[in-house]
Amino acid sequence: MTDRNNDSRENGIHTDFLEKMTYSDYLDLDRLLSSQKPLSDHHDEMLFIIIHQVSELWMKLILHEIQSAIQAIHNGKLSEAFKMLARVKKTQKQIIAAWDVLSTLTPSEYIEFRDKLGQASGFQSYQYRLIEFSLGYKTSHALKIYQQNPVIYQQLLEAYRAPGLYDAAIQALDRAGLPINPEILERDFSEPYEADASVEKAWLKVYENIDQYWSLYELAEKLVDIEDFLQQWRFRHMKTVERIIGHKTGTGGSSGVGYLKKVLDHYFFPELWNLRTKI
């Protein structure tokens, strides 16, 4: 019988880390794994904290990829953007799956520590707001939540005023010679995007001439993927909240399920959905 402790194939494994960086050092695991600080002694609060922390980490990656994709599109490097946007979709799947884990929390369990949250709420996630801003959904009232933190507020304000992913895509349509309403190209990017006939006509031409506009066609489908999965995330969020707290007001003061149902009706890239009826 082979002694696995003396397996000659593993003689190269490093074991001396007195002066070398370890896996734990690289990932800063001591700080990461000590960041879960329940405010109650209830067993399930650990689940609640970890799910939300993990989701924030995934959102950090989503923002990293979307912001890089915007820059790549501006620079005409669509192939690079496709890889980044494909990664966003895969990451979104992870966040959606997280709701399945959180939904193991029952109303009776959550009520045992809910009061400890005070007015803290996922509604206040500034990374989620940055994702919305980067996709063109700009809401000025949300900025007020973050005024107590100048660094975060400035970051949000810059994203609020900046062109988003869809703006970059529309500019790519214009560079390809597809006529776009100049008011859309020069619009105030702090305003929520609204559907425009010239943009829809341009996308329709792309879908009707796939061979001629293959890269733009692929870009459009990447955008549809992201919106599709974001709406799935929103739906699973809404159903998980409804399953755990019903129609109670959220800890942050929102209407809870009512608010989450309302945002399901919003479209980030409306023309890409409208044209499906017309093709």
- CA-derived radius of gyration, the chain: 23
237 known ligand binder: yes
251 known ligand binder: yes
What's the distance, CA 12 to chain centroid?
A: 41
Q: Is 256:241 a contact under the CB 8 Å cutoff?
A: yes
Q: What are phi and psi of 47, to 5 degrees?
A: -55, -45
Q: What are phi and psi of 106, to 5 degrees?
A: -95, 160
Query: Of 105, 96, 146, 95, which Cα lies nearest the Cα of 125?
Result: 146
Q: Please report, as a single letter, which amino acid is at residue 212.
A: Q
Q: What is the C-alpha separation between 143 and 153, in angstroms, rounded? A: 7
Residues 6+ apart with CB under 8 A from 101: 47, 51
Residue 256: exposed, middle, or buried by beta-carbon count in 10 A (0-12, 13-18, 19+)?
A: buried
Q: What is the C-alpha separation between 149 and 1, in angstroms, rounded? A: 62
160 known ligand binder: no
82 known ligand binder: no
For 3, the 3-state DSSP assignment is coil
114 known ligand binder: yes
Query: Of 245, 254, 240, which Cα lies nearest the Cα of 114?
Result: 245
74 known ligand binder: no
Q: Please report, as a single letter, which amino acid is at residue 7.
A: D
Q: Is 32:82 a contact under the CB 8 Å cutoff?
A: no
249 known ligand binder: no
Q: What is the C-alpha separation between 194 and 202, in angstroms, rounded? A: 15
What residues are designated binding site? Answer: 48-52, 110, 114, 237, 251
Residue ranges of the annotated binding site for substrate are: 48-52, 110, 114, 251
Binding-site positions for heme? 237
